[in-house]
Amino acid sequence: MEHILNLEQVKKYYGGNSGNITKAVDGISMYVDKGEFVAIMGASGSGKTTLLNCISTIDTVTSGHITVNNQDITKIKDKDFADFRRENLGFIFQDFNLLDTLTIEENISLSLVINKQNSADIEKRVHAIADKLGIREILSKFPYEVSGGQKQRCACA
C-alpha cells in the first residue's frame, strides 16, 4: 500500500527561553495509506491541533520528518508553502471559512480560479462535485442562506 502521509519521530516544542518547555508533540511516528480514513483523538491539550498544524504546514516541527505524497514537507522553503498547500492539501475549518459575499458556487470555484483553471472546466468540476455532495440546488445561494450541513459540504467541495 502507498503511504500518502508518513510521520517519523515528529516533535514540536514551545518555549525554552525561560527554561519552561512545552512538549506539544513528542516523538510521534505514524503513517496513513491511500484510501484510509484516520481520526486523531485525545484529551484537550494533548497536541492534536498542533500535530495537524504541522502536517498541514501551518506550523513547523522542532524535529522529525513529515512526508506528504512522497515529499518531505519539513524541507520545504517558506516561499514554497503556499504552492504546496494549493496543490496537495485541502482544509475544512470548524467555521468553514466561506466568503459571505460569494455564492456557494463561487466559493467552491475559488481555488480553481486561483489555480488559473479555464472557466468551462471550473463549471464542469464544480457541478460534478456539487452533484456528488447533494448541494447542486444551493449553488446560487449565499452562505448565510444555507444550513450548517450544507456549508460543511460546500467547504468539503
Geometric angle at alpha carbon 43, from 149 and 92, rounded to 5°: 30
| pLDDT, tens digit (0-9, with 9 covering 90-100), for 13-36 | 988 777 788 899 999 999 999 999
Average pLDDT, the chain: 91
| pLDDT, tens digit (0-9, with 9 covering 90-100), for 31-67 | 999 999 999 998 888 999 899 999 999 999 999 999 9
Domains and CATH numbers, the chain: 3-76 (3.40.50.300), 104-156 (no CATH)
Instruction: Please say whether the beta carbons of 8 and 65 come within 8 A.
Output: yes
Report pTM. 0.66
Neighbours of 32 (CB within 10 A): 16
pLDDT at 95 over 70: no
Query: Locate cell 464544480: which residue?
Result: 126
pLDDT at 101 over 70: yes
**What average pLDDT score do residues 83-89 get?**
87
Specify which residues 25 forms β-bridges with: 12
Cα 12 to Cα 133: distance, rounded to the nearest angstrom:
36
pLDDT at 93 over 70: no
CA 130 → CA 83, 121, 125, 151, 155, distances in Å?
25, 14, 8, 12, 11
What pLDDT sits at residue 121? 94
- DSSP one-letter string for 69-131: TTEEGGG--GGGHHHHHHHH-----TTTT--TTS-HHHHHHHHHHHTT--HHHHHHHHHHHHH
The mean-pLDDT minimum among 29-38, 80-89, 97-106, 129-138 falls in 80-89
